[in-house]
Structure 1
Amino acid sequence: MASTATPMMKQYLSIKDQHPDALLFFRLGDFYELFFEDAVTASKTLEITLTSRDKKKDPIPMCGVPYHSAKGYIEKLINEGFKVAICEQMENPREVKGMVKREVVRIITPGTLIDDFGMDDGQSNYLLSLVKENGMYTVSYSDISTGDIFAFSTENMTDLTSEVSRIKPSEMVVDEASESVIKEMYQDPPLYTIYEKKEHYDLEREDDVTEASAIDLLMNYIYSHNMKDLSHFRIVKKHKLNESMQLNYAALSNLELLTNLQTKKEKGSLFWYLNKTETPMGKRKLRRWIERPLMRVTDIKMRHSVVNILLDHFIEREDLKSLLNQVYDIERLVGRLSFGNIDAKDLIQLRDSLYNLPAVDRLLTELQLNEVPLFTGFDTLADIHRLLDDSLLDPPPKHIREGNIFKSDYDEKLQELRYIQENARQFLNDYIEGEREKTGIKSLKIGFNKVFGYYIEISKVNAMNFDTETHQYERKQTLTNAERFITPELKEMETKILSAEDESIILEYRLFNELKAKMTQHIDRLQKTAEQISTLDCLISFAAVANEYHLTEPVFNQEMLNITDGRHPVVEKVIGENTYVPNDLQMDDENFIYLITGPNMSGKSTYMRQVAIISIMAQIGMYVPAQSASLPVFDAIFTRIGASDDLSSGKSTFMIEMMEANDALKRATKDSLLIFDEIGRGTSTYDGMALAEAMLEYIHNHIGAKTLFSTHYHEITKLDSVLSGLSNYHVKATEYDGRLVFLHKVKPGAVEKSYGIHVARLAELPEEVTKRAENILAELEAGSYTQDHSREREAAQLEFPLPDTEGKRDDVSEALRQMDLNQMTPMDAMIKLNELKSLIKDD
């Protein structure tokens, strides 16, 4: 093919060979064109027309998109997991004879985005590198858009898998020797690239950062794709696994910390409850805080102290909140500055973000928050704001090559050119008046055409006796009724007027690049202030939530876990403070296992989750939903709460249950919290009962972790007589007028019965079914049950009547029938019940 290809296609093939794993956007004039398999792939994904080149000889598949609207197309390809190589024309085609030089200027992948291709401004976007050497897994990961970069090491594959799942990188990179680690971690791996490091990068690092191989691999990959000397990378921070509470993917998901378990949306999560942040930076930081609760009490108390001050000063807190509302995403604006793709609009946003920082500083000083280490040395960046405010016009142009970026008085030459542009008509009017005086021809006028520019027009009558040599008039055109002339002064004026706009645009482009260079000198200062602003944003949000929902400052006591009138914050927000039933909990080193029984939907799961969430809220520096709370600092929280089949990886509900339980039992310590909900439900009764009892014995005898363990196996409640650290508790329910009423109150002792058939009645199963179930249950409990196949045939012939309902109540009945209670979280159930209640409230 290459031997018969045109010079342009040879150039394309040569560049494509250098980037075989990327879709090559090849610049041809005003379009990016794709050829061969790239064109076929892109046309299907983007739903654009596939055509061909050289149709008569050897047709080549081809498609293209306009360069000025390519962003949306590239964004779609990136979201689908493709890599895109941008190949630009490096020369002006009008100034070059022959083939225009072209080069790939950037390779865009999901992990190497800045923020110009549809990034979520409230989430971090991590690229992660992984190297296995000498039995150690070394990892580095970075959000390129903000310059954050971290590193950690571990010898434990379970810890590695847990951390990577918590980081959730959008892309991974490994060297060839480490690819097997990816395949060991994932049955269906996410996007990853095999890449070999070539250079060593001396990034500034914290003293204990030793993961050089992973850092070098990461940086080599970043620079090879972005092809810029990025200057915004921060100090590489050591991500210490033992300095934050460990929350694996199961805990993050089951406790609905970042997203709702069913909808996968923010609404209904702890993040949704806590997020009253004003800036994208604060929103991202809040996510990180939830994912990694603190373990050092002094750090936790520092955040609590700030929340306390903000709670006591409502007016100042609201003033700060209002000021932060005017702050844009400084972190990602700095990323764009470093990358070189910042435009005038971005600098205007940066200028406006800095405007209120002196007012923020005054309030911090007034509240004495400037003495808290989190906010000491707050830099208002006043000099940077002054530079931007003195230079930039508002509103900014859409493109930096359009001009009108700078104020006229920013540069003397620009001021002169602007004066010419703005006063061109007056120049011409003054000139023509002068010529009328000199020539005595009052009808003399000035005009313009594209052929020879500005001209002076004199009528035929006046031109007949006009002395052109004396007045230095050069005839340019003869018309039927007039003559047209030019003069040296007019040509000089024309040159100034016509070139002033072009010159000013070229000058402003140069000035803009100089301003960018000045701004890059302040990247470190901008990042430090952005860090403090995001921290302040989170703590203001904490105070606002604590005030709205009447939360309490917790205290820490490693010997006990005491909660008085604890509440599940999210459930309470949904159903209302007056509806929610609070509960207590008391644990210490001698009494550390709660074995909880009670019917489905009675509130067992909510109760257990709320203990975990209260602990997490406390350790991120938040107040908690309780009348009082004395808590230990937990090193980890492990959960085993209802799961669905993962058929794509061949794992049943029960297999997932056992894997999560195994992770907890192997990794938990005495300082961990275990939340086990209905262990053993996915297998036979005796198997499940045996596993549940064995796990409780193991936790009691070998781990000593504080544990909340719910079960329907009433038989194992006898363990309180043989395990001294275990106590039975139940969620209270009662029968009233033949119906089951949930009291949602946790009480000492085992439940009297399971009320399973009562719950079935709540779901409106046919009455014949529930009555028959009661009979069978009575026989089972009496030990007299035998299967009678004739009775089965008789039952099969029964006609179960449909519920005698209509209208809204019929809709409610149908909705209840379709609800899968085993797969619903308490949050989902509360939301669904509210929806059903609204359907019948007017009946």
Structure 2
Amino acid sequence: MSNTLKQHSTEPIQDKEFLSAYKRLPEKSAATIRFFDRGEYFSLHGSDAVFAAREFFKTNNVIKIWKSDNNELETCYVKNNNFEIFLKDLLLVKQYRVEIWKKSNKSGEWTMINHGSPGNLSQFEDILYSGEESPSSSPITDPGLLAIQINTEDNINKLNCGFVDKTSRSFLVCTIAYKDNFTDLESLLIHLGPKECLIPASGGNRDFYTKLDKVLVRNNILVTERKKSDFNADNECSELNTLIKTKNEQNVANFVELKDKNSVGCLNALIKYLELLQDPNNEKNFKIISYNLNNYLKLDSGAFRSLNLLPNRAEQNSNKTHSVYGVLNRCCTMQGQRLLTQWIKQPLVDIHKIEERQNLVEILVNDSELRQNLVENYLKKMPDFQRIEWRFLKNKANLQDCYKIYCAVNNLPSLFECLLNHEGERAHLIKEMFINPLNAIIMDFKKFQVMIESTLDLDQIKNHLFLVKSSYKPELEELREKLDRVEEKIESLADKVSRDLGLSGIKLESNAQSGYYFRVPRKDDKVVSSSKEYTVIETRKDGIKFQNAKLQDLNEDFIRIKDSYEQEQKGVVDDIIKISCGYLDALQNLNNLVSELDIYVSFSLVALSSQAEYIRPKLHPMGTGILKLKEARHPCLELQEGINFIPNDCEFIKDEKTFCIITGPNMGGKSTYIRQIGVLVLMAQIGSFVPASSAELSIVDCILARIGANDCQNKGVSTFMAEMLETSFILKTATSNSLVIIDELGRGTSTYDGFGLAWAISDYLVKKVKCFTLFATHFHELTALSEELKTVYNSHVSAMTTDDSLTLLYKVKPGVCDQSFGIHVARLANFPEHVIEYAKEKAKYLEDYCPILPNEEENAQDHSKKYKYKQETDEIINQLFQKIEKIDKNSFSDEEYIQKVQELIHSEAKIVDNPYFKALISRL
């Protein structure tokens, strides 16, 4: 225990037996936090208490020291309302495991009653998503769970991966090649977005799993070791047979997706960890998918982070312009937002599928009537079908959920007609993608509509009552009559209150919380509040809600009778819910159709609402080697307040211009420029229009990036090592069809080592890989690469300077930046003037102190001698100028005068003993 903690207040241990019980608990990892349920609050102890004080309460003052005999234990209390906030932060943001322990009333022993992790939230769903109703209600999809094991059969190392997505009720299997730096695996992690990964805890290949652990941790994924036996695969796939829906009771062991037993073993480990077999609602409710990594553009973690593709959970409510997702998200539905997240993580590489998406976006851009109808009359009225489906699967569904489905389905025929009315050369695409599937969904729900209309009392829904028709049972008829009589009395009371107060605008309304109440406009507030007979419930913009004693009595009667009615109708409601569960597959089909339609509408709205032009990029097949962007802009930055974005061009041509070196001042726009190229390529390959005046590009297979000097010391990786790991990933992953973005490579080591690495890496990418590369650098010497390699060209971000000012123009122009602007930037940062002047002096010395000497001379000279030669050279040159000025120009022709000057310089060089001056003269 630290001395700091000992200074905090102590208190006698409240549960004397707890200390010994606490010491008997099994060991846990530092990434697991244990809460002890004590009824009205929770307690944390030991290192967990210190963690909570530091990370959640942000102060050590909350720590108490429990003392018992010679033992001390750090203790921290968490109130129940704070527990929910803390739990969300641990599981969803910090990605920790959580255990809840409680003392048994019978045995008196502390036992674990709940546990969860970032990939296994099922036991905490009610707490985590209170107010949201389901894990799928967040725009950022609920993370799935991954399992990995290595397969060394036939002397070929492969990674077998299994993935489960409980939201879509699907299993994914994927087999990828094992490479030293797990390049394909990192792309898979970005595509699927798991927050936790299961690996075998024992057995062979420990070196491999140690390397794998480091890769997963570097990608912010919690690693959970499970028994090797959990990864075993039985020949009959019995567990999967229980969960996967098949036709004609097929055995899933015959599925081609499950031919690899190691993949089956990964799925078995997931099933055991998530305890999927313990929930009967999972039976025959999952599907199996074979995931092909090559169907999607590959991203490394550097590109995913640096291009700001998605907001993290902590930023979801922040400025939308901070991420590509925020810019493109004009979706009207939650399911559309979830699918957009998936599309951004999984850009396509099939040109035909991308162009199909572009065609649909273009249809909606050009057809304003269709676009507006879809937004206002259909998409905005669609509920979150995944949320409703989750409620059915968790046995939480009610008649209101059935009614939401009914309303949506009732609206489908008019949506069908709306789409059918579109005319144009691509009308067949609308028919194929939406009209035909929609027609099938309408037919699937025909009997569902009949069921709801025949059982649900639709007239009562306007009063927020979801009741079965009273004609179903005599007992319901009787209760219905009682409800009607109470309602008549309430309506009569409303007329009386209107007369008593002398107000004609009194409205009688009801909701589930307050029951019946009166409402008047806010201007009548004084009339209501001046009467002691009435009680104000709530004051809002839309009016004053109030009741009186008589209405409260009638409300109580109404609620009592309604509760009896709901209890009496329970059997019928259960039957309706059970029948409705049979429509979940059709509901999922409807969810998929609505979410895709929502994204296409969103892309069209983004393209049309931008202040500057968004255009459809022209695509070329992979390998054709074209990337031409005119007046391209960064979609996030141009939307930020107070920014007048300067557009720039970019051009790459295979075998002609493939490697662009960009120089220029800090803050001049180099990083923004190279990032925006990556963002626009990704946007094009998800099917979106892009912010530019024209765009033409070949499909790329990867976008790889090394941008920024992110410090990874908390993960045991230095800044420079992180840079080298990311660059190594690029060198081993990039192909001739890739786009590589590199910013300020080599800053974490000495200048000479950094420059050497930058040159060697650039040379390799140009000569061996031959991919399109944007390389922003402060190593101006690197620009000499263009003189050696024909496909390398130089660009720079322009700026205007005077002695006292620096004006950044943010325009990318051809050629090399002719100077460094570091001291100008320091002046902008308000450095003290004496520091600026001293920096100028040292910079001039270092720039001048690069003597052009023969190698044998240079190696023989030490630092002080070289500086002495430089000083002597300045004096020699001054004397030369004086001698040149004495030559009579009028006595010679121009050619003779130049010859005379040259003779004078060379004769002077023979006299002086200064290798620096001689080297300068040799260049003339």
TM-score normalised by the chain length of structure 1 = 0.70
Q: Which runs of 5+ in 2 are unaligned?
A: 1-17, 67-74, 130-134, 233-237, 246-251, 488-557, 852-862, 866-924
Matched, 1:524 2:585: yes
Q: 1:564 touches 1:584 (CA, 8 Å); kept in 2?
A: yes
Determine the structure 1 residue equivalent to 2:594. 533
Q: Tell me: CA distance 1:734–1:502, structure 2 relative to 1, closer, same or farther (3 Å).
A: closer
| SS in structure 1 of the partner of residue 778 of structure 2 | coil
Q: 1:405 touches 1:508 (CA, 8 Å); kept in 2?
A: no
Q: Tell me: CA distance 1:224–1:764, structure 2 relative to 1, closer, same or farther (3 Å).
A: same
Matched, 1:183 2:207: no
Determine the structure 1 residue equivalent to 2:380. 325
Q: Tell me: CA distance 1:374–1:253, structure 2 relative to 1, closer, same or farther (3 Å).
A: farther
Matched, 1:172 2:194: no
Equivalent AA in structure 1 for residue 431 of structure 2: E
Q: 1:562 touches 1:630 (CA, 8 Å); kept in 2?
A: yes
Determine the structure 1 residue equivalent to 2:289. 237
Q: 2:468 touches 2:573 (CA, 8 Å); kept in 1?
A: no
Structure 2 counterparts to residues 266-285 of structure 1, below 5 A: 267-285=321-339
Q: Tell me: CA distance 1:648–1:35, structure 2 relative to 1, closer, same or farther (3 Å).
A: closer
Determine the structure 2 residue equivalent to 1:93. none
Determine the structure 2 residue equivalent to 1:373. 433
Q: 1:146 touches 1:332 (CA, 8 Å); kept in 2?
A: no
Distance in structure 1 (CA, Å) of the matches to 2:740 and 2:45:
56
Determine the structure 2 residue equivalent to 1:551. 614
Equivalent AA in structure 2 for residue 359 of structure 1: S
| Greater displacement, 365-374 / 770-779 | 365-374
Q: Give the drift of 1:337.
A: 1.0
| SS in structure 2 of the partner of residue 325 of structure 1 | helix
| SS in structure 1 of the partner of residue 437 of structure 2 | coil
Matched, 1:627 2:693: yes
Structure 2 counterparts to residues 257-272 of structure 1, below 5 A: 257-259=309-311, 267-272=321-326
Q: 1:105 touches 1:226 (CA, 8 Å); kept in 2?
A: no
Matched, 1:152 2:174: yes
Q: Give the drift of 1:251.
A: 0.7
Distance in structure 1 (CA, Å) of the matches to 2:805 and 2:312:
31
Structure 2 counterparts to residues 30-69 of structure 1, below 5 A: none
Structure 2 counterparts to residues 26-105 of structure 1, below 5 A: 81-83=96-98
Q: Tell me: CA distance 1:42–1:520, structure 2 relative to 1, closer, same or farther (3 Å).
A: farther
Distance in structure 2 (CA, Å) of the matches to 1:77 and 1:147:
25
Equivalent AA in structure 2 for residue 183 of structure 1: D
Matched, 1:308 2:362: yes
Matched, 1:350 2:405: yes
Q: 1:107 touches 1:225 (CA, 8 Å); kept in 2?
A: no
Equivalent AA in structure 2 for residue 146 of structure 1: S
Q: Deviations over 1:270-298 (max 9, x none)?
A: 11111111111111111111111100011
Determine the structure 1 residue equivalent to 2:502. none
Q: 1:43 touches 1:63 (CA, 8 Å); kept in 2?
A: no
Determine the structure 2 residue equivalent to 1:494. none
Q: Deviations over 1:718-765 (max 9, x none)?
A: 111211211112222223585322222222221111222222222222
Distance in structure 2 (CA, Å) of the matches to 1:422 and 1:222:
46
| Greater displacement, 676-685 / 193-202 | 193-202
| SS in structure 2 of the partner of residue 139 of structure 1 | strand
| Greater displacement, 579-588 / 330-339 | 579-588
| SS in structure 1 of the partner of residue 433 of structure 2 | coil
| SS in structure 1 of the partner of residue 661 of structure 2 | strand
Distance in structure 1 (CA, Å) of the matches to 2:413 and 2:383:
16
Q: Give the drift of 1:676.
A: 0.8
Distance in structure 2 (CA, Å) of the matches to 1:352 and 1:42:
49
Q: 1:24 touches 1:38 (CA, 8 Å); kept in 2?
A: no
Match of 1:658 among 711, 721, 724: 724
| SS in structure 1 of the partner of residue 705 of structure 2 | strand
Matched, 1:201 2:240: yes
Distance in structure 2 (CA, Å) of the matches to 1:312 and 1:208:
42
Q: 2:336 touches 2:598 (CA, 8 Å); kept in 1?
A: yes
Determine the structure 1 residue equivalent to 2:141. 124
- The aligned length equals 679
Q: 1:594 touches 1:726 (CA, 8 Å); kept in 2?
A: yes
Determine the structure 2 residue equivalent to 1:613. 679
Determine the structure 1 residue equivalent to 2:517. none
Equivalent AA in structure 2 for residue 144 of structure 1: K
Q: Give the drift of 1:581.
A: 3.2
| SS in structure 1 of the partner of residue 683 of structure 2 | helix
Q: 1:166 touches 1:249 (CA, 8 Å); kept in 2?
A: no
Q: 2:308 touches 2:323 (CA, 8 Å); kept in 1?
A: yes
Equivalent AA in structure 2 for residue 546 of structure 1: A
Match of 2:570 among 509, 523, 528: 509
Equivalent AA in structure 1 for residue 433 of structure 2: P
Q: 1:330 touches 1:526 (CA, 8 Å); kept in 2?
A: yes
Q: Tell me: CA distance 1:152–1:418, structure 2 relative to 1, closer, same or farther (3 Å).
A: same
Q: Tell me: CA distance 1:173–1:201, structure 2 relative to 1, closer, same or farther (3 Å).
A: same
| Greater displacement, 294-303 / 730-739 | 730-739
Q: Give the drift of 1:41.
A: 12
Equivalent AA in structure 2 for residue 111 of structure 1: G
Distance in structure 2 (CA, Å) of the matches to 1:685 and 1:33:
54
Matched, 1:297 2:315: no
- Calculate the aligned-residue CA RMSD, in Å: 4.6
Structure 2 counterparts to residues 585-596 of structure 1, below 5 A: 585-596=651-662
Match of 1:363 among 418, 427, 443: 418
Equivalent AA in structure 1 for residue 351 of structure 2: V
Match of 1:111 among 86, 105, 119: 119
Q: Which has the higher helix share?
A: 2
Q: 1:108 touches 1:225 (CA, 8 Å); kept in 2?
A: no
Distance in structure 2 (CA, Å) of the matches to 1:159 and 1:622:
26
Q: Give the drift of 1:525.
A: 0.7
Distance in structure 1 (CA, Å) of the matches to 2:52 and 2:744:
50
Determine the structure 1 residue equivalent to 2:161. 139
Distance in structure 2 (CA, Å) of the matches to 1:498 and 1:726:
79
Q: Give the drift of 1:86.
A: 11
Q: Give the drift of 1:655.
A: 1.5
Q: Tell me: CA distance 1:24–1:516, structure 2 relative to 1, closer, same or farther (3 Å).
A: farther
Percent of residue pairs bearing the same amino acid type: 26
Distance in structure 1 (CA, Å) of the matches to 2:769 and 2:740:
10
| SS in structure 2 of the partner of residue 276 of structure 1 | coil
Q: 1:273 touches 1:569 (CA, 8 Å); kept in 2?
A: yes
Q: Deviations over 1:285-323 (max 9, x none)?
A: 111111111000110001000000000111221221122
| SS in structure 2 of the partner of residue 200 of structure 1 | helix
Determine the structure 2 residue equivalent to 1:733. 799
Distance in structure 2 (CA, Å) of the matches to 1:533 and 1:231:
26
Match of 1:711 among 771, 777, 799: 777
Match of 2:473 among 412, 419, 432: 412
Equivalent AA in structure 1 for residue 814 of structure 2: P
Q: 1:417 touches 1:500 (CA, 8 Å); kept in 2?
A: no
Distance in structure 2 (CA, Å) of the matches to 1:754 and 1:579:
24
| Greater displacement, 500-509 / 622-631 | 500-509
Q: Tell me: CA distance 1:144–1:597, structure 2 relative to 1, closer, same or farther (3 Å).
A: same
Q: Tell me: CA distance 1:35–1:375, structure 2 relative to 1, closer, same or farther (3 Å).
A: same
Q: Deviations over 1:678-724 (max 9, x none)?
A: 11122211111111110111011110111111111111211112112
Distance in structure 1 (CA, Å) of the matches to 2:56 and 2:309:
35
Q: Tell me: CA distance 1:27–1:656, structure 2 relative to 1, closer, same or farther (3 Å).
A: closer
Q: Give the drift of 1:228.
A: 3.0
| Greater displacement, 563-572 / 174-183 | 174-183
Distance in structure 2 (CA, Å) of the matches to 1:784 and 1:181:
44
Q: Give the drift of 1:592.
A: 0.6
Q: Tell me: CA distance 1:280–1:756, structure 2 relative to 1, closer, same or farther (3 Å).
A: same
Q: Give the drift of 1:357.
A: 2.7
Q: Tell me: CA distance 1:670–1:414, structure 2 relative to 1, closer, same or farther (3 Å).
A: farther
Q: 1:107 touches 1:226 (CA, 8 Å); kept in 2?
A: no
Q: Tell me: CA distance 1:228–1:82, structure 2 relative to 1, closer, same or farther (3 Å).
A: farther
Equivalent AA in structure 2 for residue 172 of structure 1: C
